[in-house]
Structure 1
Amino acid sequence: MPRSRLYAGDTLRALRRAAGLNQRAMAMKLGLSVSYLSQLESGERPLTAVVSAALARHFPAALAGIEGEVPARRLSALAAALADPAVAPLDAESIARLAEERPDVADRFVALHAAKRAAEERAALAEEAMITSAGLTGTGARLPWEAVRDWFHDAGNYVDLLDRAAEELASGGALDQQLADHGVAVVLAPDDAAPLARFDGRVLTLAAATPPETRRFLVAHRLAALAFAAPIAGIVAAAPLAHDEARRLLSIGLANYAAGALVMPYAAFRAEAKAVRHDIDRLSRRFGVSFEQACHRLSTLQRPGAEGVPFYFCRVDMAGNITKRHSATRLQFARFGGACPLWHVHEAAAIPDRILVQHAETPDGVRYVSMAKGLVKPSGRFARAPRRYAVVLGCEAMHAADFVYADALGIWQGGVSHGLSGTPTPIGISCRLCPRSDCDQRAFPPTDRAIRVDPATRRVVPYSVV
């Protein structure tokens, strides 16, 4: 069926203005000429497959509003799958036409690519052994926490119903008082060994050793769990989760999400983030939240028509394990195991309270600017070791002007773009999934490539990747 002529001038103009871009900047982002963009906005030209592909990459939620949720999601997912270095490259127009003219083939390719990645990661880290030990069966089985992580990823790490409800509730006064209106009192536990929080239905007991911003978040979590019990239950009931533990974890995760939206209301937080160019310390002071909480919230600003900068966010422990991960960018994390050893997050974990900035490039050629900071959460007593880890927040380099940390790289200073400085660090997802053949930091060969061992030649890595 030929593509229907679709005019969306008013929507494109509103989208550009909401993003704070002039026509030249918007045209550069979409890969169009200024005159062509002007004709699109004035309604003289309809959307083409190329324009739709560009919108799917940079403004997927806006494209969903123009073409419909399902076609936009299909195009975005197909473009992401075809960005895999193992797949022969395809131009944007061909991708858009495939998604439009053969949606059945597009959906099957996306599903096949997802299955390929899952199979690679299972093989790399013996996922089947983990599943068996957990008492689950079947090749498609997932551990409960992985199923919940995948649910948030599929939701775009944004839950509109809860986000808007929390924003409205945030205007209702102090959190402690609103919790008291639900008949709940907040007290501090005298016992240093007490858990972070315990709720018995009438009293919320918080560990006294926790920082003020953590206690505030725990109060917000309990208030959200009570105030939004019905919508949370409805979301959980509709989620395709096979096990009770996964459903309980999702319920907790949704309450945590709502708590973040409660202490950092969407419109106010997005506006302040834009004003300070996403300076995490300034946002933390303004909203009374921790550094990690502010980073996490920035990765969720994907409200249709009012999107923030698409960020990826993750938390890495001292052993290199990724313990929390969200991405609104093309960068996706390995579901299991450690991250790329060239990623600056590992250095940050060993140097608390120091911010490191990195300009990096993934195997698909996409460049990113990221900020990493090592954090220490005190335990409150000598006999219990503090928690040490690092958080990283990053965006594609095209958004460097909106990311204050890019100034450390000389990318954007004084309102003037100076371009990317130096050669980007070549990073990957993980050694098991990285196709690079010349990395001296490689710990393991890739699962889908052969290796060659030459006894007569000594290299840093004792094999070459074919």
Structure 2
Amino acid sequence: MAKRRVFAGTQLRNLRNARGHKQSEMAGLLGISVSYLSQLEHDDRPLTPALIELLSRDFPMDWQDVEEDATTRRFAALREAASDPLFPAPLSVDQLTRIAEQQPALADQFVALHAAYRRTGERLQIVDEALASENAGGSRLPWEEVRDWFHMEGNYVDRLDRAAEELAEKLTSKTVSPTAEAIERYLRDALAISLIYTAHSGLRQYDSGAGELQIDQSQPAESQRFQLAHQLVALALQDDISAIVEGAGLRNRSSQQLLFVGLANYAAGALLMPYNRFRQEARNLRHDIDRLRQVFGVSFEQACHRLSTLQRSGARGLPFFFCRVDMAGNITKRHSATRLQFARFGGACPLWIVHEAVAIPDRILVQLAETPDGVRYVSMAKGLVKPSGSYARAPRRYAVALGCEIEHARDFIYADGLDLASPQAATPIGASCRICPRSDCDQRAFPPSDRAIIVDPNLRDVVPYRIA
């Protein structure tokens, strides 16, 4: 079989220029000579599998956009599957290359089998946690069913995302995101909706019979704009949303209605932060949330949530996990495009920085954390307060967290200043005490559900038992 020959001189040169590197600096990063790099950039020589692996590892966000052949895509998928902590040691570049080139059917089946394994593990986790939480029937409430539907979809709905992006093009001219005025104009002129700004009417109330939309004017400006966007897409993209709900296979009417609301919220985010514009700006700013929210006029939470949805095939964003935690430690929003998976019942690990952030509003905290499988993550968390508009109503307090695996740290500004290489620098965390296997955690609230405990009346440690 002929060896694949990948010529990507223009992309390699563009990557070097985007990083501001001289040829000598780039050659040093790749471990090759300057003359060899020059030949690569002029397409006089093809990239070797070892160089492709190095570029994919060190420049994952930039190199994923290189137009690749089927073998190269197969190699990348195989490398990701084979790097699962399930395996004691990863395959070498040469081994992966030989499998991808000489046994393509086997490689495809291995990748598919690994994906099925991951999905099965996630479904089993739902059942395990339901049983551990005394939800013995394993039945899910409507909001849990909708939450899990989004998770299984990868938190990305292509049909709706593209439709919202097209709609955003109609509403923008000189701005990167539709303004509140542009959305109001479309609601009035195209959809014949009357707008009323008033206090204490609920965040948003729509009367379809009267064609009247009320918006609570006590909300922050970005929240008002989001509610306008929600109503716009709920009407303008109603057929698309309804078709997705119809095909979701949810059990009851409440679940279907909740999914409609969730999809309208998703589309509102996609309208205000159009996919390609938002993805490119996020990369330019190294995913600096405060700067992103200024560019697109959205809230901190909205920007974080949108980053977790950038999973379009061929144009993926950084693989993030995202969650929102309330003052009691309940996870009220969650999604992970990483190997980190959240507990679906109960609270999260108390060692995770997001819990500290809840008590310290408007301050960004960062953490290097390591899960029991040995994977390390950079976490950013910030406590937020949403005003109620009245002294008689308590404001809402919560925290949001966003993070990625350390291999993407160079593209995540919050990793700056962390010692990513030190074995002692990472905080050991788990998904939740019910499923965490760590036996030496002083913060454990209760033992794992699948392990027995050993109690010695003559020994008292921080945790009053040992795990068998």
Q: Does 2:437 match 1:439?
A: no
Equivalent positions of 1:179-194 (< 5 A) are 179-180=187-188, 181-190=190-199, 192=200, 194=201
User: Cα distance, 1:280 vs. partner?
Assistant: 1.4
Name the residue aligned to 2:174: none
What's the CA shift string for 1:286-319, capped at 9, x where partnerless? 2111111111111122233332222211000111
5+ residue gaps in structure 2? 172-181
Mapped partners of 1:162, 1:123: distance in 2: 33
What's the CA shift string for 1:375-419, capped at 9, x where partnerless? 111222222221111001111222222222223x345xxxxxx96
User: Cα distance, 1:374 vs. partner?
Assistant: 0.7
- Partner amino acid for 1:170? A
> Judging changes above 3 Å, is the alpha-carbon distance between structure 1 residues 297 and 17 closer, same or farther for their aligned structure 2 residues?
same
**Match 1:167 to one of 153, 165, 168:** 165
- Partner amino acid for 1:333? F
Mapped partners of 1:269, 1:103: distance in 2: 32
> Judging changes above 3 Å, is the alpha-carbon distance between structure 1 residues 124 and 263 closer, same or farther for their aligned structure 2 residues?
closer
> Judging changes above 3 Å, is the alpha-carbon distance between structure 1 residues 114 and 159 closer, same or farther for their aligned structure 2 residues?
closer
**Match 2:266 to one of 257, 267, 274:** 257
What's the CA shift string for 1:413-441, capped at 9, x where partnerless? xxxxx966961111111111111121111
5+ residue gaps in structure 1? 133-138, 412-417
**Considering only aligned residues, what root-mean-square deviation do their CA atoms show, in Å?**
4.2
Mapped partners of 2:452, 2:147: distance in 1: 31
Mapped partners of 2:79, 2:467: distance in 1: 31
User: Cα distance, 1:126 vs. partner?
Assistant: 3.7
Mapped partners of 2:285, 2:117: distance in 1: 42
What's the CA shift string for 1:5-46, capped at 9, x where partnerless? 7666559958995996789999999xx97699999x988589
Equivalent positions of 1:35-434 (< 5 A) are 67=70, 82-83=84-85, 87=86, 89=88, 91-92=90-91, 100-101=105-106, 111=116, 114-126=119-131, 130=135, 141-173=139-171, 174-180=182-188, 181-190=190-199, 192=200, 194-201=201-208, 202-407=211-416, 409-410=417-418, 423-434=425-436
Q: When the two structures are superposed, what TM-score results if normalisation uses the length of structure 1? A: 0.78
SS in 1 for 2:239: helix
Name the residue aligned to 2:462: 460
Q: When the two structures are superposed, what TM-score results if normalisation uses the length of structure 2? A: 0.78
User: Cα distance, 1:162 vs. partner?
Assistant: 2.2
- Partner amino acid for 2:106? E
> Judging changes above 3 Å, is the alpha-carbon distance between structure 1 residues 99 and 295 closer, same or farther for their aligned structure 2 residues?
farther
Mapped partners of 1:108, 1:309: distance in 2: 24
> Judging changes above 3 Å, is the alpha-carbon distance between structure 1 residues 33 and 351 closer, same or farther for their aligned structure 2 residues?
same
Mean Cα displacement is larger for which, 420-429 or 348-357?
Answer: 420-429
Mapped partners of 1:362, 1:453: distance in 2: 26
> Judging changes above 3 Å, is the alpha-carbon distance between structure 1 residues 165 and 186 closer, same or farther for their aligned structure 2 residues?
same
Q: Is the 8 A contact 1:5 1:47 kept in 2?
A: no
Mapped partners of 2:48, 2:463: distance in 1: 53
User: Cα distance, 1:123 vs. partner?
Assistant: 4.0
Mapped partners of 1:260, 1:348: distance in 2: 24
> Judging changes above 3 Å, is the alpha-carbon distance between structure 1 residues 113 and 307 closer, same or farther for their aligned structure 2 residues?
closer
Q: Is the 8 A contact 2:75 2:96 kept in 1?
A: no
> Judging changes above 3 Å, is the alpha-carbon distance between structure 1 residues 156 and 124 closer, same or farther for their aligned structure 2 residues?
closer
User: Cα distance, 1:325 vs. partner?
Assistant: 0.8
Mean Cα displacement is larger for which, 89-98 or 111-120?
Answer: 89-98
- Partner amino acid for 2:195? V
- Partner amino acid for 1:177? R
User: Larger Cα Rg: Structure 1 or Structure 2?
Assistant: 2
- Identity, in percent, stands at 51
